[in-house]
Structure 1
Amino acid sequence: MHREVLFEIVRTAVAILISLFVVFLIVFLVSSQPTEALSKFLIGPLSKVRYFSNVLELSIPLIFNGLAISIMFQAKQFNIGAEGAFFMGAVAATVVGITMNLPRIIHLPFAIIAGSFIGGILLFIPAILKSKWNASELVSSLMLNYILYYFGIFIINYYLRDVNAGYMVSYPLNSSVLLPKLMVGTRLHYGIFIAIAMIIIMYYFLYRTKWGYAIRMTGLNEKFAEYVGINVKKVILYAQIIGGIIAGMGGAVELLGMYTRFEWQKLPGYGWDGIIVAILARNNPLLVPVAAFFLSYIRIGADLMARMTDVPSEVVSVIQALVIMLIAAESFMAKWRHTMVVKRAKEEFYVNNGGSLQ
């Protein structure tokens, strides 16, 4: 297992390095100031506290969605409804933040819990369809995203819209429901600690509890899981519900930490980004923040490069596409993996037979 983990880490690192090398070539070909462009891309996010705080701010929703997708992918449930659950989690937090007037110690947690609850309930829909009728969770969750988007926009625009604001936004949220800022002069908020707490909780859940073991075994081999007595249908249900809870929580935290009103008039896209994060992290909760930080770092770097040089920010799409393509390719670095497996087999053979490798 240790060598498998090492292989995946090295494989991912090589994929990232190859994609960065390709981007460097593109920059040198299209830019009249390639050195300056690459400097802004690679070092720009570290040049000011404000820029680095932007990286951390962007990491927060990526962590929540990457974690949500990872839990579902661990059970081999390709539910991509985190986008809709994230959006509706923010809508639920908006409803609580506008219609209720409670003390901060109650109001803020209640809004986050409401977003989490809604997210879990909504992703129960593709989960029950898969568990009861074997409907593809990929298709049902994809369609559900757009249903939830239009339903959420309907709630905001027809019941909570501030007609005096001059644009399509909700009424202001009560101050008692807003997450406080962590650093003065930045938008970085205490939601980052909630994200870190969820990483620790989900890692413990997956690798230290019987329910997490059931999720992992179902994902590895559903038939074997059934054979050893695991209730696979139950696992299919709660894996996707937990993913929905985390995504909904992420939507609530993002809204309450970064905004004073509900301002989204389209899906924010963090659910789709969560798929990229989960792929980079190999569905491991402990690697999710690393993957989220990497993705947010190159996006902020690309934005700085686009604003200060002649290279467009779309180069980050090249990195994402190449990394996903290389990681998804089963034969990428397969020869090295085969060499590792053969070497390990030889070592075990000699040890078991009282010999040793020279």
Structure 2
Amino acid sequence: MKNKNKIMSRFELLRTLLAVGIAVVFAVVIIFLVSSQPLEAIYKFFVAPLTSFRYIANIIELMTPLLFTGLAVTFILQTKVYNLAVEGMFYAGGLAAALAATLLKMGPGIHAFTALFAGLAAGALIAFLPAILKLKFEANEIVSSLMLNYITFYIGDFLLKTYMKDPKSTHVASLKFAKTARLFEFTRGIHFGLVIAVVLVIAAWLFLYHTKWGYAIRMCGENKNFAKYSGIGVTGTILLSQIIGGAIAGLGGAAYMMGSQQRFNWEWRSGYGWDGLIIAIIARNNPKFVPVGAFLLAYLRIGSDIMSRGTDVQNEVVSIIQGVIIILIAATGFLAGYKKKLTVKMTREAADA
């Protein structure tokens, strides 16, 4: 059984790598078709991001929030409850942290911790609502979570204009965050939030694969009936996975605000929550592969930005790559024949043994 799981894991890794490879080839073909300088565009897209420290720092800076949201979605999807409010969780985390950073007066260290904790709690709350509606009232979590995103945004708009707005600002934005609430910055764009994200990735992998709670969460995702008959509290376990995922997303929003931003504004809708879904798909819902997915997406985004500024190819190419990757990974028929051959081979080997 252990050998079978290992082989299937390798098969899924192969599917993911092939999906990424095909998407990249598809993008290269498009560049050749639309560009008058295709070789330069390809160089700027795939090579230029590694040619300077500034570009590498940009990749790491973009990776940081992606690590949080990718990890959050990985937790949320473990139990097959499709809570799509991760964008709202991330936004709520940033909003709560901004409230703490502008309205509270505290000393260094404790102020930053309070802002981060406020973001964590806000994200957990947003995750809890669609989950409890699903479990107690059989409400469709996809619909309720999507609607909750908009509710969160408009609540943020009210709080910003009522309690945080800077009267001297020419646009709708909060007062500047107190310096005591800011996260330590290693270099421009790279802050202590990166350390928190890396620690969370390691802790999430250990939790899911080396604790009884992690086993319960994974078992609820595999087969809820079997989990129930095994003595696992399915309702509580599902809520646990949702709350942990929401807390991670909210903490990511808080870290992003306190590390990368100077103030909160209504137009701040990052899209990082939806990016987290892409990363979780690439990572196959395994925390240890989340950094790979986050790096890949950040690398493509920075590369496409460099390409669009230096050539005649627009950075929407990266959206094409994302779309092809998602379609191929989500398509159960992709490499289905090879998977069938592997299954037959393993069955015969087991029978012979």
Please tell me whether the aligned partners of residues 40 and 304 of structure 1 are also in contact (alpha carbons under 8 angstroms).
yes
Once the two structures are superposed, residues 22-43 of structure 1 have per-residue CA deviations (whole angstroms, 9 ceiling, x without a partner) of 1111101111110100000001
Query: In 1, distance between residues paired with 2:186 and 2:54?
Result: 12
- Which residue, 286, 297, 300 being the options, matches 2:299? 297
Please name the residue that 1:144 is paired with: 148
Q: Which sections of structure 2, spanning at least 5 residues, go unmatched? A: none
- Which residue, 160, 177, 180 being the options, matches 1:176? 180
Query: In 2, distance between residues paired with 1:135 and 1:104?
Result: 43
Please name the residue that 2:38 is paired with: 34
2:65 aligned with 1:61, yes or no?
Answer: yes
2:119 aligned with 1:122, yes or no?
Answer: no
Query: In 2, distance between residues paired with 1:45 and 1:66?
Result: 22
Please name the residue that 2:272 is paired with: 270
Please state how far the C-alpha of 1:347 moved relative to its aligned partner. 2.1
Query: In 2, distance between residues paired with 1:136 and 1:282?
Result: 24
Query: In 2, distance between residues paired with 1:122 and 1:323?
Result: 29
Please tell me whether the aligned partners of residues 55 and 302 of structure 2 are also in contact (alpha carbons under 8 angstroms).
yes
Please tell me whether the aligned partners of residues 206 and 215 of structure 1 are also in contact (alpha carbons under 8 angstroms).
yes
Please state how far the C-alpha of 1:263 moved relative to its aligned partner. 3.0
Query: In 2, distance between residues paired with 1:53 and 1:153?
Result: 32
Please tell me whether the aligned partners of residues 153 and 265 of structure 1 are also in contact (alpha carbons under 8 angstroms).
no
Please name the residue that 1:4 is paired with: 8
SS at match of 2:97: helix
Please name the residue that 1:339 is paired with: 341
2:276 corresponds to which letter in structure 1?
A: G
Please name the residue that 1:98 is paired with: 102
1:320 corresponds to which letter in structure 2?
A: Q
Query: In 1, distance between residues paired with 2:161 and 2:279?
Result: 32
Please name the residue that 2:223 is paired with: 221
Please name the residue that 1:350 is paired with: 352
Query: In 1, distance between residues paired with 2:287 and 2:104?
Result: 34
1:264/1:292 CA distance change after superposition, 3 Å: farther
Query: In 1, distance between residues paired with 2:146 and 2:269?
Result: 13
SS at match of 1:287: helix
Please tell me whether the aligned partners of residues 149 and 266 of structure 1 are also in contact (alpha carbons under 8 angstroms).
no
Task: Select between 95-104 and 319-328 the one with higher mean Cα deviation.
Answer: 95-104
1:192 corresponds to which letter in structure 2?
A: L
2:201 corresponds to which letter in structure 1?
A: I
Runs of 4+ with >4 A deviation: none
Please name the residue that 1:322 is paired with: 324
- Which residue, 220, 239, 242 being the options, matches 2:241? 239
Task: Select between 266-275 and 307-316 the one with higher mean Cα deviation.
Answer: 266-275
Please tell me whether the aligned partners of residues 119 and 246 of structure 1 are also in contact (alpha carbons under 8 angstroms).
yes
Please state how far the C-alpha of 1:177 moved relative to its aligned partner. 0.9
1:232 corresponds to which letter in structure 2?
A: V
- Which residue, 199, 209, 216 being the options, matches 2:211? 209
- Which residue, 74, 86, 92 being the options, matches 2:78? 74
Q: How many residues align?
A: 349
Please tell me whether the aligned partners of residues 182 and 190 of structure 1 are also in contact (alpha carbons under 8 angstroms).
yes
Q: Which sections of structure 1, spanning at least 5 residues, go unmatched? A: 352-358
Please state how far the C-alpha of 1:264 moved relative to its aligned partner. 4.4
Please state how far the C-alpha of 1:4 moved relative to its aligned partner. 1.1
- Which residue, 161, 180, 184 being the options, matches 2:165? 161
Once the two structures are superposed, residues 35-82 of structure 1 have per-residue CA deviations (whole angstroms, 9 ceiling, x without a partner) of 100000001111111111111111111111111111111110100111
Please tell me whether the aligned partners of residues 208 and 214 of structure 2 are also in contact (alpha carbons under 8 angstroms).
yes
Please name the residue that 2:252 is paired with: 250
- Which residue, 34, 49, 68 being the options, matches 1:45? 49
1:155 corresponds to which letter in structure 2?
A: L
SS at match of 1:182: strand
1:333/1:71 CA distance change after superposition, 3 Å: same
- Which residue, 310, 313, 320 being the options, matches 1:311? 313
User: Cα RMSD over matched residues?
Assistant: 1.0
Query: In 1, distance between residues paired with 2:102 and 2:296?
Result: 35
Q: Percent of counterpart pairs with the same letter?
A: 46
- TM-score normalised to the size of structure 2? 0.97
Query: In 2, distance between residues paired with 1:294 and 1:101?
Result: 39
Please state how far the C-alpha of 1:266 moved relative to its aligned partner. 4.4
SS at match of 2:109: helix
SS at match of 2:146: helix
2:95 corresponds to which letter in structure 1?
A: V
Query: In 2, distance between residues paired with 1:229 and 1:145?
Result: 34
Query: In 2, distance between residues paired with 1:204 and 1:266?
Result: 33
1:105 corresponds to which letter in structure 2?
A: G
Please state how far the C-alpha of 1:339 moved relative to its aligned partner. 1.5
Please tell me whether the aligned partners of residues 160 and 265 of structure 2 are also in contact (alpha carbons under 8 angstroms).
no
